[in-house]
Amino acid sequence: MTLKIGIVGMGNIGNIHAQVYKENPKVELVAVCDIIKERADRAAERYGAKAFYSVKEMLASGIHLDACSVTTAGKENGGDHFIPTMELLEAGIAVLGEKPISNNIEEAKQMVALARKKKIPYAINLNHRFTPAARRAKQWVEEGRLGSINMINMRMWINNPNESSPWFHLRALHPHSFDVMRYFCGDVKRVVAFMKKGEGRTIWSNTQVLLEFKNGVIGTLTGSYDAGGAFGLERCEVVGSKGRFVLEEACEHLHFYNRFSIESETYNYLGGMRSFSETFKDRIGVWIDQLSSGASYEEIDGSGLDGLKAQLIIEAAIKSWETGSIVEVEEVEF
C-alpha cells in the first residue's frame, strides 16, 4: 500500500522533497501546502497534488495523510518549523522536518516531547549522514577496523553572504556537522568555541569548536560561511589506534589509511552516489522505508531527538564563546 504524503513549505527545498517523492513508488504525493498561494498552486499543478494554504485548512479538509515533510524556513532557517510540526504531530501525522529542527531549543524540545508522547515517527533531514560512503565508514568504526577511536576532525564550509542574525552560521549550517560527528563518535560531553567575523561581516561567520565526547574521543569542527566554493564543502576524518578514514563531500571519496602500512584504500562514489544533491533521495528513501515497515518512534534514523542533540551542541558552543569558558552540553530527558 502506498503512503499518502504531504509537504508543508513549497520553496526550494520543498520542491526538492516533492521531486524525490514523485520518483518513489512507495508513496503518493497528495497535498502541497504554502501560505504563499502561488507557490502552493504552482506545486499542485506540477506534482498533481491538492493545494492548501495552511496546515489547519489541510487537516480540516479530511484528506488522508500518513506523513508530511515540513520544509518551512524562518529565522535562522528554522523559526517557522514549530507551529506546522506541532499541528501535524497533534493530528497523529508522522513528520520529516528540515534542519535545523528549530533555532529555539525550547520549541525543539516541545516537538520531540510531543512526538515521543504520542509515539509518532518524527525525523529531521540530517541528510549528510545518509550516504553509502558514510554507512561504510560507520561499519568500519563498529567493526573495530580503526581500533580505538581517538579523534574526529570535521570541516564544513560554504559561501553564504546572508547576515540574518549573529548565530545564523552556527544554527543553520552546523546541525549537519555535529550530526555527522555524533553519527561516528556518539554524544558530546562538553565544548569550547572560538569565533571570528569575516571581512565586512556582522555575524560570527567563522568558528573553531573543540569537543570532548562522552566516550572520551576528542574532536574539532572548522566551520565557515566565508569559505568553500572551489575548495569543497565537507571533510570528515576519524582517527583510531589502528587506522583512520577521511570522508570527502559526504559521499564522493572515502579513504582508509592503515596506521601500520603504507597501503591505503580509496572508494569513489560508493553506491553510485555522485554528489551531495543525491543525499535527499537516500535520506527520504530511508524515512519511507522505515514508515512502510512500521518502525517505531524510537527506531527512526536521523530522529527529532538527533536534531535536538545537534542543536544543543550548537547552543553550548555559543555559550562557550559568550562566556569564554568550557561548557557542558545540556542532557535531555524525556
CA distances from 107 to 113, 114, 245 (A): 10, 11, 36
Q: Which of 3, 5, 68, 80 binds ligand NAD (CB under 6 A)?
A: 80
Instruction: Give yes or no for residue 85 binding ligand NAD (CB under 6 A).
Output: no
Instruction: Give yes or no for residue 88 binding ligand NAD (CB under 6 A).
Output: no
Q: Which three cell numbers stand for residue 193?
A: 568555541
From the centroid of its chain, how far is CA 47?
25
Contact region with ligand NAD (CB under 6 A), list: 28-36, 178-186, 229-237, 288-296: 28-36
In the complex, minimum distance from the CB of residue 323 to ligand NAD, in angstroms, rounded to a whole number: 27
Instruction: Give yes or no for residue 99 binding ligand NAD (CB under 6 A).
Output: yes
Q: Which of 17, 88, 98, 104 binds ligand NAD (CB under 6 A)?
A: 98
Instruction: Give yes or no for residue 10 binding ligand NAD (CB under 6 A).
Output: yes
Please tell me the total number of residues recorded for the chain in this structure. 334
CA distances from 257 to 169, 235, 262 (A): 32, 15, 8
Q: Which of 7, 8, 95, 211 binds ligand NAD (CB under 6 A)?
A: 8
Instruction: Give yes or no for residue 104 binding ligand NAD (CB under 6 A).
Output: no
Nearest CB to ligand NAD, comparing residues 73 and 332: 73
Number of residues that bind ligand NAD (CB under 6 A): 27
In the complex, minimum distance from the CB of residue 110 to ligand NAD, in angstroms, rounded to a whole number: 16
Q: Which of residues 32-51 bind ligand NAD (CB under 6 A)?
A: 33-36, 39
The CA distance from 151 to 211, in Å, is 10
Q: At 307, is the secondary structure helix, strand, or coil?
A: helix
The H or E element spanning position 68 is strand 67-70
Q: Which of 24, 69, 71, 207 binds ligand NAD (CB under 6 A)?
A: 71
Nearest CB to ligand NAD, comparing residues 75 and 319: 75
In the complex, minimum distance from the CB of residue 171 to ligand NAD, in angstroms, rounded to a whole number: 9
The CA distance from 53 to 7, in Å, is 11
Q: Which three cell numbers stand for residue 104?
A: 529555539
Are 208 and 191 in contact by the 8 Å Cβ rule? The answer is no
Q: At 264, is the secondary structure helix, strand, or coil?
A: strand
| Amino acid at residue number 130 | F
> Pairing between strand 149-157 and 234-240?
antiparallel
Instruction: Give yes or no for residue 278 binding ligand NAD (CB under 6 A).
Output: no
Residue ranges in contact with ligand NAD by CB under 6 A: 8-14, 33-36, 39, 54-55, 71-73, 77-78, 80, 83-84, 98-99, 125, 127, 172
